[in-house]
Structure 1
Amino acid sequence: MPTIQERAARLIEAGQIRERGRWDAPADDTITLDEAQRHRRRMAMVSDGGIAFLLDLPEARLLVEGDAIVLSDGRLVEVRAKPEPLLSVRGRDADHLLQIAWQIGNRHLPCQIRDGRILLRRDHVIADMLRGLGADVHEVEAAFDPVGGAYAGGHHHAHD
């Protein structure tokens, strides 16, 4: 049986990403991943159509819906965001939504802000807290592309 290293050596490599909106050739395939699966640097992957390849980027990054992974043979694999269980949060008005956003940010929770609402991962404790602050909270299934923020190079940081 081949080792992991031997199998990886036979994979097509992919070391370049074309960002959403910066490529226009038709994609040869797609790959559908949730947000956690889209934050990668190096990993063996299989496209939706069965193309096995080794993603090998210089640094970890969040792939977003519409990015294209460039395979070493020139083919493009378009990234699709897999819908996942989220909370959709709205405020009474813009000021209230800003206060809610501050509470979410103060807890260092990844979130997506768009169309007058905030999306974040489902968590019943956070949902109860937000409802207690007067937010309109609903469970949804949607693609999740959180804001990168000041620490966009990674999801974690420390308070020294």
Structure 2
Amino acid sequence: MRRALSLHRPGDWPADRARASITLAWADRHRRRLAMTDDSGGEFLLDLPEASLLAEGCGLRLSDGEWIAVRAAPEAVVDIACHDAESLIRIAWHIGNRHAPVQILEGGGLRIQDDHVLVGMVEQLGGHIVRHRAAFHAEGGAYAAGEHHHA
């Protein structure tokens, strides 16, 4: 079986040489060792030295020298906006207090995975929501050294 032995961040690998891609939802993109199937049905073993975030645009280097591009799958998300920064900060605090992953959007909004309990809370706090399908790229957190990425 083919083995993916190293992960390379966007811009640190020859993306034009990718022979395959793998499209994963947020919950499936933090891995170390797992049998996986690329988007064209090819099987490989993810065999990294440590658990890593497989972020959009990363490349997996296979033992045979081939590359697999990592893609973020569209999933059910909720974009959050507020009329003022204070309200948005309050909502961000409440989301963080529940240890829910959150993505900070360019332009000042937030994105969370679609969860009816969190959405209800956000609406009660005055947030305006838009439900749709998009890639989710949560913040890595204070202790996720080197794993701060944005789309």
Q: Tell me if both proteins adopt one fold, taking TM over 0.5 as the criterion.
A: yes
In structure 2, the partner of 1:98 is 89
1:117 aligns to 2:109 (yes or no): yes
Kindly provide the CA deviation profile for residues 58-109 of structure 1, in whole angstroms up to 9, marking residues without a partner as x.
Answer: 1111111000011111111000000011111111122321121111111110
Give per-residue Cα distances to partners, 1:96-155, cap 9 Å, x unaligned: 2112111111111011111221111111111111111110012111101110112427xx
Equivalenced residue count is 143
Partner of 1:51: 42
Q: CA deviation at 1:37?
A: 1.2
Identity, in percent, stands at 48
Q: Which residue of 2 aligns with 1:6?
A: none
State TM-score, norm by structure 2.
0.89
Using structure 1 for the length normalisation, give the TM-score: 0.84
Q: 1:127 aligns with which of 114, 119, 133?
A: 119
1:140–1:13 CA distance, 2 compared to 1 (3 A)? same
CA distance in 1, matches of 2:15, 2:118: 42
* Residue in structure 1 matching 2:67, options 58, 67, 76: 76
Residue deviations 1:4-51 (CA, integer Å, cap 9, x gap): xxxxxxx11111011012223411111111111111110011111222
State the match for 1:21 in structure 2.
11
Q: Which amino acid aligns with 1:130?
A: V
Aligned partner of 2:38: which letter?
A: S
Q: What residue ranges of structure 1 are gaps of 5+ in the alignment?
A: 1-10, 154-160
What is the CA RMSD across the aligned residues, in angstroms? 1.3
| Structure 2 portions without partners, runs of 5+ | 146-151
Structure 1: 4+ residue segments shifted above 6 A? none
Q: Is the 8 A contact 1:91 1:100 kept in 2?
A: no
- Is contact 2:15-2:69 (8 Å) kept? no
